[in-house]
Amino acid sequence: MKIYNTLTKCKEEFKPLNPGEVKIYACGITVYDDCHLGHAMQAIFFDLVRSYFEFLGSKVTYVRNYTDIDDKIIARAWDTKRDPLELSSFYINEAKADMCALKVKPATFEPKVSEHIGDIIAFIRKLIDKGFAYQAGSEIFFRVANFREYGKLSNRKPDELKPEPGSDARKESPNDFSLWKPAKSDEPYWESPWGKGRPGWHIECSVMAEVYLGHTFDIHGGGLDIIFPHHENEIAQSEAANGCRFANYWVHNGLLMVDNKKISKSLHNFVTIKSALEKYQADVIRYMILSFSISSNVNFTEANLAAANKHVYNYYQALARVDETIAAGAAAEEKLSGITAIDSLETVFRESMDDFFNSARVLAHLPELFKALTELLNSKKVNAPEKAAVCRKFRNSFNKITEVLGILDESPKQYLEAFTKQHIVNNKLDIPAVELKIQERYSARKNGDFKLADSIRTQLTASGIALQDTPAGTTWTLVL
């Protein structure tokens, strides 16, 4: 398996610290509002990483934290006249519900900063004792100058960094960053050797990663936008405190773009998970995200969503036919299908995922795969038992893959029913009017007026309704 390591700037063979075991930490959500699709993107990618290692038979310990005390949380709590920790607790529950709706599995551990204040204080004391941190008033800063490898992740040198506007004059260097902040009035605080206060942002992840994964672990993940300063500062703190490498591999996912612009509160272009799920099924959102490589920016556009929507709908329709064929076909000896796209499915999946979790390449194989399946199902040269045998072989492989991807893994019948209901609401389809048109067409055909019957079919097709005439009557499905 090859993984692109941000630390070394190249793809490397993945070698876990302990064979058969993988330890992963991914920076989680600062919970002061509903989660948006940027949060979903990162969660889905690292859910994929975790699931693939489990598919390979590894025992995975996956940690994804919640920052439940922070300047943004406090500001939002003041604005809404709520207690900051009550506010963050509420949005943690909302985040868990959103991720569950997107089929993102819970992490092995999902720690909160507020639960690890004692660990954070002990970690800071260690840094002070080793000369890597100092006290200025009631605040503790990390001494960047004493960590000689600072900048190795982001390729930034301390002497080239520009101080932030309004940099604290109490710092020994403008590059130094806060580990412990003194409490302001009306803010949550905890007692510490340096007075009442709360942790800085960067120290949280260093501490929680160590608590659950040890001094050194396999993979640390997050978005490209937090390589600097957050991940750079994590490395400095952890390696200064413990004298060993913090994480062996640094994996960074791309950013979510909306119409080619980075999502931003100031641009008001972010989309919440809840609002996205009102319009699209979870599979559609996951499909769109996984159709990009892990390190690429994902462009969230109506065109990309519509394409994902169409793919997923059509694949579920094909899967419904596959399952019907299996159920109707007599038992037959399992044999090689002789269909290249089916026979190579697991190989394509393994080769793609072993190349830095390339889900995009896996999804790119699906059109060929489903085209071959459709040709098989429509073939009059293959008998029912043989079709059922090939479909069973396909399902055995496909189910393993979709369990990792978290898409196309639902009951086709149930998915299509839910999809149809959602599509009818979103597109304001008048189903009684559709049924009336079908009845009019039936009457026209019965009376020999095939020109009118064909005209009605054309009208319905133009509105996204496909008719299917069967001995039992006429049924309809959606056409995307």
Q: What pLDDT is stored for residue 338 in this prediction?
A: 78
The side-by-side arrangement of strands in the sheet containing 256-258 is 261-262, 256-258, 298-300
Considering the domain boundaries, does residue 197 fall inside one?
Answer: no
DSSP 139-158: EEEE-GGG-TTTTTTTT--G
Considering the domain boundaries, does residue 274 fall inside one?
Answer: no
Q: In whole angstroms, what is the distance from residue 53 CA to residue 251 CA?
A: 15
Considering the domain boundaries, does residue 446 fall inside one?
Answer: yes
In a shared domain, residues 14 and 128: yes
Q: Hey, what are 462's tokens?
A: 């133009």
In a shared domain, residues 253 and 354: no
In a shared domain, residues 408 and 456: no
CB 60 within 8 A of CB 263: no
Q: Tell me the residue range of the domain where 344 lies.
A: 302-412
Q: In whole angstroms, what is the distance from residue 37 CA to residue 291 CA?
A: 15
In a shared domain, residues 222 and 120: yes
Closest CA to 346 of 394, 409, 281, 406: 394
In a shared domain, residues 115 and 53: yes
CB 129 within 8 A of CB 240: no
Considering the domain boundaries, does residue 296 fall inside one?
Answer: no
CB 286 within 8 A of CB 43: no
Q: In whole angstroms, what is the distance from residue 365 CA to residue 361 CA?
A: 7
Other beta carbons less than 10 A from residue 310's beta carbon: 13
Of 412, 441, 459, the position where a domain reaches its end is 412
Considering the domain boundaries, does residue 171 fall inside one?
Answer: no
Q: Hey, what are 149's tokens?
A: 């490898």
In a shared domain, residues 351 and 408: yes
In a shared domain, residues 249 and 329: no
Other beta carbons less than 10 A from residue 430's beta carbon: 11
Q: What pLDDT is stored for residue 400 in this prediction?
A: 96
Considering the domain boundaries, does residue 198 fall inside one?
Answer: no
CA torsion through residues 333, 336, 341, 344, sign: positive
In a shared domain, residues 223 and 112: yes
For residue 199, the cross-strand partners are 180
Residue ranges of the chain with per-residue pLDDT less than 50: none
In a shared domain, residues 312 and 247: no
In a shared domain, residues 159 and 119: yes
Kindly list the distances between the CA atom of residue 210 and the CA atoms of 108, 215, 245, 350, 369, in Å, as whole numbers in the listed order.
Answer: 15, 5, 12, 31, 44
| N- to C-terminal Cα separation, the chain | 38
Considering the domain boundaries, does residue 276 fall inside one?
Answer: no
In a shared domain, residues 341 and 455: no
Q: 3-class DSSP state for residue 399? A: helix
In a shared domain, residues 222 and 370: no
Q: In whole angstroms, what is the distance from residue 109 CA to residue 111 CA?
A: 6
Instruction: Look up the CATH number of the domain holding residue 241.
Output: 3.40.50.620
Counting the structural domains of the chain, the total is 3
Considering the domain boundaries, does residue 400 fall inside one?
Answer: yes
